Each structure stands twice: as structure tokens, then as C-alpha cells.
Structure 1
Amino acid sequence: MKRFLRYLVVGLGIIVLQTAVLPHFLKIQMRPDLLLILVLYLSLPALSCSGAFYAWSLGCLFDVFTGTTLGLYGIVMLIIFCVTGSVGQQFHRDNYMTMIVATTLGTIAQTGLLIFMLLCFSNNGQQYWLEIVKQLPLQLVLNLATVFVIIVILEQVKKTNYRHLLHILTPRGKSQWH
């Protein structure tokens, strides 16, 4: 329960940062998808029901904050969590390249799932899919740059021996990206 509340607070902070704070500092319309990175990060250690519920909940909260179709990001984040958790068990999770590959594939999968869901379940899906595809390269670059920054921060935390901070940031008290 404490872990769920901790991740919920971190997730809400990320949603507020992504939807309210970053638009004021970044002059471009695109922003790194911090929620996707968090869901990918949580899905790599192990696939769990509580993690799936957490990914779905944060996706639905993101829908509330962004004003998109309610449940769209909830189901997209749930699918990404389940697929990444299932496939991620086959990879060496302690290598930071796993997170880079997961971010690349996750960003592409998120774009594909958003287009599919909008075309199937939304009346306005026809007008948005081309715009979503055009934004994919920049979104991928922003997400990868953010992951690199997070990797550097976690490595610095690990080097300076802030074990209590590392325990808060990682699911089991050890970095998954070293």
C-alpha cells in the first residue's frame, strides 16, 4: 500500500509537470512523455496486477488533466505496461540499454495504439492520425533525451551513495538502469 501511494504521488507529480509546468518552459508544443517513461520503468522489473492497475489509473488521470477522450490513455498505458512487462522479462533488466530500447519501442507503440484507438472509437480520429504520425520523430527524440537525463541522475545518485533516495526512486531499492 505504501508503494502504491508513493507511485501515485510520483505519478501525479509527473502528470502536473507534463501538463502544467513544462508547457511554460518549453517553447515547442511537444514535451517528453514522462508518464510513458514511468509506466515503462515500472513494467520492467516484473509484471504485476497492482502495476497494471497503477498504469491504467495514471493513464485515466492523464486523460482527466489533458481533456482527451476519457479512458484513451488509460487503456493505452495498460496495454503498454502488460506488453512491456511480458516481453521485458526476457531481457537483462539491469542494463540501461534495456530502458532505451523500451522507450523507443514504447513511444512507437503508444503512437500506433493512439491512432488505432482514435480511428476505431472516435468520430474525430480521421483528422488526428496524420498529425500524430508527423510528431513521432520529435516525440521519440524528446523521450530518449529524457531517459538519458534520468539515467545520468540515477547514476549520480548511485555514486554519491544516497541509498535512501535511491530506495524511494526504484521499486526494490536498486537501480534498474546501471
Structure 2
Amino acid sequence: MFVFVFLVLGMITLVFQTTLLQLIPSWLGRPDLMFLLIVFIACRAGIVKGAFVVLVMGFLMDVFSGIFLGLYPVIYLLVFAFIKGISRRIAINEFAYQIPLALISYLLVNTGMFIVSFTLAPDSPPQWSWRGIILQLVMLAVIGIPFFSFLENTMNHLGTGSMPRRLLGSKPGNRFIE
């Protein structure tokens, strides 16, 4: 159920990010909600389920907006592995650690993408703008708080019971003792 729900959330996030968020003026910046979803999955999911969801979302991101094919799945899996590696040493399941971890990961990913893009296409170097990156980091920090709380509520909703029983309206437990 986790895989299905988070794949659907990833698709909704991707469609929202590639359609509606593109209407925001470029000087205001565009938040990367997919990256926040990847960080949340890395913090909360198991290794196999999380890696599968992250890989599928990387492929979807590649189809929608990939410049160099295969770059998003590799980057998302590296972010997943980085966060899983850190989470073995630090308890990052708490909400307070997720936002700074997302910001550090985003800065590292942008640095890595700049280096890879510069290596793959040296005749047209990508632009590195501290103003744009700091704006993105601030936007991720501000948007990350309600987004992570929404994802946390979704995760708690998944863990408290089976979804079909709740959709049918039946109550858990013994119906004859009340």
C-alpha cells in the first residue's frame, strides 16, 4: 500500500510541478516538491520499497523534464542512499531534522548536477547563480514545513489501519461489544 500511495503522490506532485508551478515567474523561483518527496521517502521508508519508489519517480522525472537521460534516477538514488547512510548514524525521523537535511541534500545535488552538466556539455556551461540557489533553499525551507507535515499525516493514516476498511466505512474491532 505504501508503494502505491507514494507513487500516486509522486505522480500528482510531478504533474503539479511541471504544469502549475511553471506559471510562477522565474524571478520568484519554482519549488522542487519532488525533491522534498524523495527526502521524505528516504527518511521514512524501508530500503527496498523506498528505493523502488525513488527509482520510478526518477524515471518519470526523466521522461517529463530530463535533459540528460538517466540523470534523475541516478541523482535520486544517490540522494536516497546519502540520506539512508546518514540516518544510520543520526535519528532523522524527527521533523526538525528533515528540513535541514533536505536543504543540505539540495545544495549537494545542485553542485553535482552543475559538475555533471559541465562535464557532459562543456561548450554550453550551465549557469551557477547563488541568488537562485539561495532563493530555492529558502523556498524549500518554507514550503517543506507544510509539505512534510502533509506527508507525515499521510504516512500516519496509512499506518493506522487498512485503507479499504476505512473507505467502506466499517469500524475496526468487535462489532458486537458496544
TM range (shorter): 0.7 to 0.9
Percent identity, aligned pairs only, is 23
- Assess if the C-alpha contact under 8 Å between 1:45 and 1:85 holds in 2: no
Which whole-Å deviations, capped at 9, do the CAs of 1:69-108 have from their partners, x for residues lacking one? 2111111111000110111232233421111121111111
**1:2-151 correspondence to structure 2 within 5 Å:** 2-24=1-23, 26-28=24-26, 30-120=29-119, 122-123=120-121, 126-131=124-129, 134-151=131-148
Q: Measured at CA, do residues 111 and 64 of structure 1 come closer, stay the same or move farther in structure 2, by a change above 3 Å?
A: same
Aligned partner letter, 1:102: L
1:49/1:138 CA distance change after superposition, 3 Å = same
Counterpart check, 1:167 vs 2:157: yes
Query: In 1, distance between residues paired with 2:149 and 2:155?
Result: 15
Closer, same or farther in 2 for the Cα pair 1:152/1:54, shift >3 Å?
closer
Number of residue pairs matched by the alignment: 159
TM-score (norm 1): 0.77
Q: Moved runs in structure 1, 4+ residues, more than 4 A? A: 151-155
TM-score normalised by L of structure 2: 0.77
| 8 Å contact kept, 2:44–2:93 | no
Question: Structure 1: any 5+ residue segments left out of the alignment?
Answer: 158-163, 174-178
Equivalent pair of 1:100/1:144 in contact (CA under 8 Å): yes
Q: What's the offset of the Cα at 1:35?
A: 0.8
Change (3 A) 1:87 1:3: same
CA RMSD of aligned residues (A): 2.5
Cα separation, 2, equivalents of 1:63 and 1:117:
15
Q: Note if contact 1:47-1:86 (Cα within 8 Å) is conserved in structure 2.
A: no
Over 3 Å counting, the alpha-carbon distance change for 1:66 and 1:126 in structure 2 is: same
